[in-house]
Amino acid sequence: MNSPFGTIVSSNITPDKRHGIGNYSYDDFARALRKGVAPGGKRLYPAMPYPAFAKITDDDMRALYAYMMQGVPPVSSVPPPTRVPFPFNQRWALGIWNWFFAPSGAYKLRADRDAEWNRGAYLVQSLGHCGSCHTPRGAGYQERGYDESSKHYLAGGINDNWYAPNLRADPGSGLGRVGRDEIASFLRTGHGGGMVTFGSMVQTVEDSLQYLNDDDLRAIAAYLKCLPAAGTADGRFDPPRTDRAAPALKTRAPDVPPVTGAAVYASFCAECHRPQGEGVADAFPRLAGNPSVISEDTTSLIRLLVEGGNSPATRHGPPRQAMPAFAETLTDVQIAQVLTYVRASWGNDARPVTTNDVSSLRSKLHK
Ligand code: HEC
Ligand code: HEC
- pLDDT one-digit tens code per residue, 236-259: 998 876 644 454 444 555 555 557
Percent of the chain with pLDDT over 90: 74
Q: Are 136 and 144 in contact (CB under 8 A)?
A: yes
Q: Give residue 163's pLDDT band: very low, low, confident or very high (50, 70, 90).
A: very high
Q: Give residue 109's pLDDT band: very low, low, confident or very high (50, 70, 90).
A: very high
Q: Which of 70, 284, 82, 71 is nearest to 198 (CA)?
A: 284
pLDDT computed for residue 244 by the predictor: 47
Q: Does ligand 2 come within 6 angstroms of the Cβ of 326?
A: yes
Q: Does ligand 1 come within 6 angstroms of the Cβ of 126?
A: no
pLDDT, greater one: 236 or 116: 116
Distance 165 CA to ligand 1 centre (A): 7
Task: Average the pLDDT over each of 80-94, 187-201, 224-238 and give the range with the smallest value.
Answer: 80-94
Bond before 136 cis per omega within 30 degrees: no
pLDDT computed for residue 63 by the predictor: 98
pLDDT computed for residue 258 by the predictor: 58
Distance 206 CA to ligand 1 centre (A): 12
Q: Does ligand 1 come within 6 angstroms of the Cβ of 156?
A: no
The CA distances from residue 241 to 179, 245, 262, in Å, are 22, 8, 20
What's the burial of 158, exposed, middle or buried (CB within 10 Å: 0-12/13-18/19+)? middle
Residues contacting residue 264 through CB under 8 Å, at least 6 positions apart: 330, 334, 337, 338, 341
pLDDT computed for residue 253 by the predictor: 55
Residue 234 has pLDDT above 80, yes or no: no
The closest ligand to the CA of 288 turns out to be: 2
The residue contributing the CA closest to ligand 1 atom 29 is 183
Q: Are 125 and 119 in contact (CB under 8 A)?
A: no
The CA distances from residue 173 to 89, 183, 365, in Å, are 37, 14, 25
Distance 324 CA to ligand 2 centre (A): 8
pLDDT computed for residue 91 by the predictor: 72
The residue contributing the CA closest to ligand 2 atom 2 is 272
pLDDT, greater one: 49 or 91: 49
Percent of the chain with pLDDT over 70: 93
Residues contacting residue 266 through CB under 8 Å, at least 6 positions apart: 275
Q: Does ligand 1 come within 6 angstroms of the Cβ of 52?
A: no
Residue 277 has pLDDT above 50, yes or no: yes
Q: Does ligand 1 come within 6 angstroms of the Cβ of 292?
A: yes
CA torsion, ordered 272, 273, 276, 279, to nearest 10 deg: 110
Cα–Cα–Cα angle for 184, 188, 164, rounded to 5 degrees: 80
Q: Are 155 and 143 in contact (CB under 8 A)?
A: no
Q: State the average pLDDT over residues 343-348.
A: 95
Q: State the average pLDDT over residues 173-192.
A: 97
Q: Give residue 96's pLDDT band: very low, low, confident or very high (50, 70, 90).
A: confident
How remote is the C-alpha of 256 from its chain's centroid?
29
pLDDT computed for residue 8 by the predictor: 83
pLDDT, greater one: 355 or 248: 355
Task: Average the pLDDT over each of 23-27, 36-40, 208-212, 294-298 and give the range with the smallest value.
Answer: 36-40
pLDDT, greater one: 139 or 264: 264
CA torsion, ordered 149, 150, 156, 158, to nearest 10 deg: -120
Q: State the average pLDDT over residues 135-146.
A: 89
pLDDT computed for residue 312 by the predictor: 97
The residue contributing the CA closest to ligand 1 atom 13 is 164
Q: Does ligand 1 come within 6 angstroms of the Cβ of 210?
A: no
pLDDT computed for residue 254 by the predictor: 54
The CA distances from residue 298 to 106, 147, 193, in Å, are 35, 25, 21
Residue 162 has pLDDT above 60, yes or no: yes
pLDDT computed for residue 31 by the predictor: 95
Residue 83 has pLDDT above 80, yes or no: no
pLDDT computed for residue 92 by the predictor: 74
Atom of ligand 1 nearest to the CA of 186: 29
Task: Give the CA count within 13 Å in the CB-facing half-sphere of 315.
Answer: 9
d(CA 18, CA 76): 7
Residue 140 has pLDDT above 90, yes or no: no
Q: Which of 298, 296, 289 is nearest to 346 (CA)?
A: 289
Q: Give residue 199's pLDDT band: very low, low, confident or very high (50, 70, 90).
A: very high
pLDDT tens digits for range 322-336: 999 999 999 999 999
Q: State the average pLDDT over residues 8-35.
A: 94
Q: State the average pLDDT over residues 123-151.
A: 93
